[in-house]
Amino acid sequence: MISDLQEILSINAKGMKKSAIRELLKLTKDPEIISFAGGLPAPETFPIDELVGITTKVLREDGEKALQYGSTEGDDRLRELVAENYIQEGFKITKDNICITTASQQGLDLLGKIFINRGDKVLVGLPSYLGGLQAFNAYGVEMIGIEFDEHGMRSDKVEEVLADLKTKGEKPKFIYIIPDFQNPAGVTMPEFRREEIIKIAKEYEVLIVEDSPYKQIRFEGKDQKSLYALDGEGNVINLGTFSKIFVPGFRIGWVIAHKDIVDKFVMAKQGTDLCTSPFVQKIAAKYIEEGYFAKSLKETIQNYKEKKEVMIAAFEKYMPEGVTWTEPEGGLFLFVTLPEYMDAEKLFPKAIEKKVAFVIGSVFHCDGSGKNTMRINFSYVNKEKNLEGVKRLAEVIKAEMK
């Protein structure tokens, strides 16, 4: 091994950080630990039997193309099917507005590759998805955190920051928003707030990146129109994925944007992986065509709804006074707020001793705040373990309260 590895690393590589969630998950391999830490779909929702048949059919009917290199833009039929779904939601798009990616995480990385120079600024939520923060950080970005209220990212704070930057002759590259069942907060941004932010972004000519990986996993309440559909002018980039609504192992996601922007994603992706697996794209397309996807999604929604209800009931029963939590209308997460004097990072090893795990909330805050918060996943473990895990976590919290 050469002795000067650090000296020859790129500036971007030196700025990279390990994923806090991935590192924490290493501590939860003990089968006795009830893990609320990962953003993992429930294994029982994976349509294994159906995929066995679909995979065989793809190999027999289209094997030569499925096993060959594919286009960087993605499988034509899959892009058509994705477009059809979004058109029903009010998107004015064709397949040419879509680039298939290796899950939406690649989309986030390509955003940085395309738009961010070192020292550039982007606006993100306080809190915001760690994978997004990590992807942007790798390109040397300066992230400006925007406070939340019960409706998500505050539009008045967005305008305040943009106005301040304008007086300095600066403009952020984009505003990063997770509007539906936000990760980690679980909050859904109502349409009036989405329209406020769209109007402000247009005034200051700033792009919006809408990351919406599980919009379709809604248990209750009214569906809210996507920022992309509300905008209708090409000022929004929408990221989607099958990871939370189908199977994460396929690693299929997509970018929806103005054709000029999609073209940049295609060029950036060509230098990254040439193409997302044509094999799994064709399997996914066939799965949708055969009518399995809609049925499977409906069952997944019911599964997660029941698990969330069990967890909320357990929080109400076992958590001590002074602890609060969000009650999402969909998605996979609750966000828990402890008394201000408590530190979730110090609480974590004590929770591990009690065989229960969570993710510390500060990793979702670009400014290091949120030390008294934690993210809890309810989709992965079964209802019995959800109940027992909350009970154990409550015992740990009670023991640390003043």
- Whether residue 56 is contained in a domain is answered as no
Q: Check whether residue 93 and residue 211 sit in a common domain.
A: yes
Task: Please count the structural domains in the chain.
Answer: 2
Q: Check whether residue 251 and residue 171 sit in a common domain.
A: yes
Q: Check whether residue 318 and residue 206 sit in a common domain.
A: no
Q: Check whether residue 134 and residue 244 sit in a common domain.
A: yes
How far apart (Å, rounded) are the C-alpha atoms in residues 288 and 210? 24
pLDDT at 23: 64
Q: Check whether residue 350 and residue 244 sit in a common domain.
A: no
pLDDT at 62: 96
- Whether residue 57 is contained in a domain is answered as no
Q: Check whether residue 123 and residue 141 sit in a common domain.
A: yes
Q: Check whether residue 92 and residue 23 sit in a common domain.
A: no
- Whether residue 55 is contained in a domain is answered as no
- Whether residue 39 is contained in a domain is answered as yes
Q: Which of 277, 292, 307 is the last residue of a domain?
A: 292
Task: Residue 188: give its domain's CATH number.
Answer: 3.40.640.10
Q: Check whether residue 276 and residue 306 sit in a common domain.
A: no
Handedness of CA 389, 392, 397, 398 (dihedral sign): positive
Q: Check whether residue 40 and residue 79 sit in a common domain.
A: no
Q: What is the pLDDT along the chain (402 residues), one digit of tens a residue?
A: 667 777 777 777 777 676 666 666 666 577 899 999 988 999 999 999 999 999 999 999 999 999 999 999 999 999 999 999 999 999 999 999 999 999 999 999 999 999 999 999 999 999 999 999 999 999 999 999 999 999 999 999 999 999 999 999 999 999 999 999 999 999 999 999 999 999 999 999 999 999 999 999 999 999 999 999 999 999 999 999 999 999 999 999 999 999 999 999 999 999 999 999 999 999 999 999 999 999 999 999 999 999 999 999 999 999 999 999 999 999 999 999 999 999 999 999 999 999 999 999 999 999 999 999 999 999 999 999 999 999 999 999 999 996
Q: Check whether residue 13 and residue 100 sit in a common domain.
A: no
pLDDT at 234: 95
- Whether residue 90 is contained in a domain is answered as yes
Task: Residue 362: give its domain's CATH number.
Answer: 3.90.1150.10
Domain limits at 146? 68-292
- Whether residue 366 is contained in a domain is answered as yes
Residue 16, amino acid? M
The pTM of this model reads: 0.95
Q: Check whether residue 341 and residue 352 sit in a common domain.
A: yes
- Whether residue 301 is contained in a domain is answered as yes
pLDDT at 213: 95
Q: Check whether residue 214 and residue 259 sit in a common domain.
A: yes
Q: Which of 292, 316, 350 is the last residue of a domain?
A: 292
